Structure 1
Amino acid sequence: MVALEWATHFHALGYEICLFANSAGRTMAKLAAERLGITPTDDSSQIRPFTYDLVYAQHQVLPLFGYDETAEDLQTTRIIIGRLSRRSFMESGGWAYERALADAVFANSALTAEHLLSVGVTTPITVFHNAAPNAFFRSHFDKPATPRRITVVSNHLDPDVLGALEILKRSAQVQVFGGTATTSTLVCPEIIAATDLVISIGKTVQYALASRTPVYVYGHFGGPGYLDPENIERAHRFSFTGRCCERPLSAERLAQEILDQYGKGVAFARASTDRWLQTFRLEPYLEAAATLPARSNDEKRSALKREKMIPQERLMAEHARENYLAVERSAKLVHKFLVNSA
C-alpha cells in the first residue's frame, strides 16, 4: 500500500509512473490500472533506475535492476528506500546497494529508524510514521453511545478476536477486511468514515486517527486497546502493531472491553488536535522527498563499483525473488486442488 500511495501522489502531480513488483496480484494490478492507468511489471530487466527522476524502492528490489550507462540516463535520480519493519531481510538496512544508491531512507516508525542506525545505516533517515493520504482526514463527527457499525481490518485475525466478533455481532454490524474475508478490498476513506469503530493494527490505525474514528488497537500480538494519552506514545513507537504491550485477552474480555470502554475511544478521537494529527499526514513527507538533496548518477555508479559485496547482494535478492515466486506458485496449486476437490 505504501508504494501505491507514493505512486498515486506523484501521478496526480503529472509524473509518468512505472510500478515494479516481484509479483503483482490481481487486486493490486486492478488498483494500478484504476488509479494510475498502468499495468505493473514484474520484469526487472525493464527497470533502469537512472532513467527516472525519483525512485522509491522497498523489499530489496534495487539489486535486481540495471545500472550500466545508457543514453537515456538522467544526471540525477533521487533514490529513496522504504523500510516498513525491522524483522526480516526484506526490510533490513545497511546493505551495499543502499550505501551506494540511496539518498534517503523512509522508516515507518522511530523504532525502525533506531534499528537502522544500530546496523550502521548512515544515509539520512526520515520517519514518516506510516502516514495516511489527505483523503482520510476529516473533522470529528458525533458517534453513538455504543458502536453500531464495526470495521475490522487484519491479515492475521487472532482466534480470540474472531470469538469477540461473534459476540459483538449480537449488537452491531461487523464488517471484516482481510483474514476471513472472501474478497480483497482496498480500505478507502469512505469505509473508515462510515464506521463507528475500527479494530485493527498497523497502517489502518493511522487511517482511523486521520478520520477521527475511534480505534481499538489489538491483533495477534495483543495490544493496548483503545488509545489514550497514557498509551499513545508507546503504541505509536511500535507503529501500532500491538507489540507495545502484548496484552492477551479472551474473546469475552475483548468484547466486553470494546463495548464498555467505547466512550474512551470516542473521547480520544475528539480530543486529537489538528497539529498532532499532522504527524500522520502523508503528503508533506512526499513533497519533501521530491526535493531532497541527491548525489549524481555518476557518483552512484562509481559507488556501486567500489562496493565489494554488490555481486553477492544481487544473488541474495534474486534468490529471495525466486523463493517468493516458488511459494506463490505452490499456494496457487494448493488452492486449485482444494477448489477442484470441493
Structure 2
Amino acid sequence: MRISGTKVLITHTQTQSIMGSTVVALELATYLKEMGASVEVYAGAVGHPGNDLFIERGIPVECDINHWYSLGDYDLIWVQSEVLPLSIIDQLVDLSDDDKVPAFVFNHMTALDFAADEHPYIYLLEERLAAKVLFVSAESFDKLTPFYRRVPVHTAIFPNPAPPAFGRLPERSHERLTKVLVVSNHVPPEVWEACRLLRERNIDVKVFGEQGEYSLVTPEVLADVDAVVTIGKTVQYCLTAGIPVYVYDHFGGFGYLNEGNLETAARNNYSGRGGSRFTAENIAESMVAGYASAKSFVGRNRDRFIDRYALDKVLPSVLSDVEPKRLTALERPYALSVKSAMRFAHRYYEVWASMNELVPDRNRLRAELDAERDVSADLSRRLAEDEVTVSRLSSRLHDIEESESFKIGKALMLVPHMVKDLAGRIRFHR
C-alpha cells in the first residue's frame, strides 16, 4: 500500500491522556500526514492535554459516535482497541460486492489483563475485516492469538516504532553520567529514592509523567540527556537516539540494556516484565557504574536499532503487503451486537476522560490534606514533647518536695510567715 495520496482514518480510545497508545496514534497520524496522506482520527473521548497535540499538528479528531464516515472514501482504517464508528458498521451491513472498501489494520499494543480493550474482545470482528493484525511484541502475539477463532492469516509485529527525528539526534559526548531523565506515569518508590541518591552525587535528575512534568517526550527533550530510566515506547526513542536506556518501572526491569538482555526485554515490549526487582541503592549505583558500557552498547548498535525501530523503516514494511480484503456483508444481528459493544466502550471512554479531568483537583486536595496532616503531626509531636517535659518537671518537683532539705527549709520558714501574717492583721485592725 502506498502512503502518499491515501485517505486514512485512525481510531483510538481517547486522545486526552499522554499515554503510550495515544502517542502511537499521534505519531502515526503525524508521519502519514508528512508522507502526503490525508488523516483523520476518531476517538471515544477527547480532552486536554493530549488532544491539543493533535490540534497543533493539524490532525482533526472526532468523538461523536454517530458521526458519519463514508466507508468508500478511505483507503486505510487503522483500528486501535477495536474502536469503530457506528456509521462504518452500518455500511458493512449493507455492503455489496461492487462497493469500494478500505484496508482494515488492527493494532494491539499490550496483552495485560487490566487493558481489556487491547484484546480482540469482539468475536470474529478482526477475522472478518482485517487485512492485517499487528501486535506490539512477541509476548502480545502469544497471549492474544488464543482469543481468535482462527489466527488471522496476515500478522506482524509493530514494535512501538519511534519517529525518524529521534534517529537524527547527534551523539552525546558526555563520558560520565551527569543528566538522567525518568519517564513514567507510575514511578515506583525505589526509583524515587534512587533519584534522591543520584542527586546526592550531583547528577541532575528530571521526571516526565503524571508525577512530574506531564508533556510529550520529544527529540528536543532527549537532546541533552545522558541516560533515561523508563519502559515501553520511550525505550525505542532512546535506542534510535543512541541514548543508554535503563529499563525499570513498576514491573521491575533489566537495568541498562545490553546484548545479554535486549531480546528478552524486547519480547515483553520493554515493559520490565521478565526482569528483576532492584533496590534504590542498586539502581543508583548500577546507573553510575554501568553508564560507560551502556553508552558504548547503544553507540555500536544504533544503526541496527534505527532499522528495527524507526517509524519510517517499520511502517512501510508493515503496509507493503496490505490490500483491502474481500469483505462479505455483516449479518444484521451480529452487527447489532458489535454496535452495542461499541456504545458500551464509547461510554466507558467518556467516563474515563471525565475522571481524568478530576485528577488535578484530586491531587490538589490530596496535597492540601497531606500538608494539614503534616501540620497536625508536627503539633502532635510538639504536644507530646511538652507533655514529656511537664511530666519530667512534675516528677522533679515532687522529688524536691519530698526531700529532707525541702521539709527543713519549709519548717524554718514557717515562723517568719506566721509573724508576717500577724503583722498584717494588726495593721488591718488599726
> What letter matches 1:279 in structure 2?
R
State the secondary structure of the residue aligned to 2:221. helix
Distance 1:267 1:65, change over 3 A: farther
Residue 332 of structure 1: which of 329, 351, 357 is its match? 357
State the secondary structure of the residue aligned to 2:228. strand
> What letter matches 1:249 in structure 2?
F
Which residue number corresponds to residue 110 of structure 1? Answer: 138
> What letter matches 1:22 in structure 2?
G
CA distance in 2, matches of 1:60, 1:126: 17
> What letter matches 1:14 in structure 2?
G
Distance 1:55 1:33, change over 3 A: same
8 A Cα contact 1:130 1:203, kept in partner: yes
Give the deviation of 1:19 after TM superposition: 1.1
Which residue number corresponds to residue 89 of structure 1? Answer: 116
Give the deviation of 1:337 after TM superposition: 6.6
State the secondary structure of the residue aligned to 2:331. helix
Residue 6 of structure 1: which of 11, 23, 28 is its match? 28
Give the deviation of 1:145 after TM superposition: 3.5
8 A Cα contact 1:97 1:310, kept in partner: no
CA distance in 1, matches of 2:261, 2:170: 21
8 A Cα contact 1:148 1:196, kept in partner: yes
Give the deviation of 1:301 after TM superposition: 4.8
Which residue number corresponds to residue 216 of structure 1? Answer: 246
- The structure richer in helix per residue is 2
Aligned: 1:17 with 2:46: no
CA distance in 2, matches of 1:270, 1:140: 11
Which residue number corresponds to residue 331 of structure 2? Answer: 305
CA distance in 1, matches of 2:359, 2:56: 30
8 A Cα contact 1:133 1:282, kept in partner: yes
CA distance in 2, matches of 1:253, 1:337: 33
CA distance in 1, matches of 2:154, 2:319: 14
> What letter matches 2:145 in structure 1?
L
8 A Cα contact 2:172 2:224, kept in partner: no
Aligned ranges 1:1-342 → 2 under 5 Å: 1-35=23-57, 37-48=58-69, 50=71, 51-62=73-84, 64-69=86-91, 75-87=100-112, 88-93=115-120, 95-120=123-148, 121-138=151-168, 141-170=171-200, 171-181=202-212, 183-245=213-275, 247-295=276-324, 299-302=326-329, 304-305=330-331, 309-333=334-358, 335-336=360-361, 339=364
Give the deviation of 1:339 after TM superposition: 4.9
8 A Cα contact 2:169 2:219, kept in partner: no
8 A Cα contact 2:241 2:302, kept in partner: no
Once the two structures are superposed, residues 151-209 of structure 1 have per-residue CA deviations (whole angstroms, 9 ceiling, x without a partner) of: 1100110011011111112221111110311x531111121222001110000000000
Give the deviation of 1:338 after TM superposition: 6.5
CA distance in 2, matches of 1:256, 1:106: 38
* Count of equivalent residues: 334
Give the deviation of 1:105 after TM superposition: 1.2
CA distance in 2, matches of 1:175, 1:339: 21
> What letter matches 2:331 in structure 1?
K
> What letter matches 1:238 in structure 2?
N
Distance 1:222 1:100, change over 3 A: same
Structure 2 spans left out of the alignment, 5+ residues: 1-22, 369-430
State the secondary structure of the residue aligned to 1:44. coil
Note the aligned Cα RMSD (angstroms).
2.6
CA distance in 2, matches of 1:209, 1:77: 34
CA radius of gyration, larger in: 2
> What letter matches 2:61 in structure 1?
P
TM-score (norm 2): 0.71
8 A Cα contact 1:105 1:125, kept in partner: yes
CA distance in 1, matches of 2:248, 2:105: 31
Distance 1:334 1:270, change over 3 A: closer
Identical aligned residues as a percent: 31
CA distance in 2, matches of 1:66, 1:78: 13
> What letter matches 2:270 in structure 1?
F
Give the deviation of 1:309 after TM superposition: 4.3
CA distance in 2, matches of 1:336, 1:178: 17
8 A Cα contact 2:111 2:140, kept in partner: yes
Give the deviation of 1:310 after TM superposition: 3.9
8 A Cα contact 1:154 1:178, kept in partner: yes
8 A Cα contact 1:96 1:310, kept in partner: no
Give the deviation of 1:285 after TM superposition: 3.0
Distance 1:283 1:65, change over 3 A: farther
TM-score (norm 1): 0.88
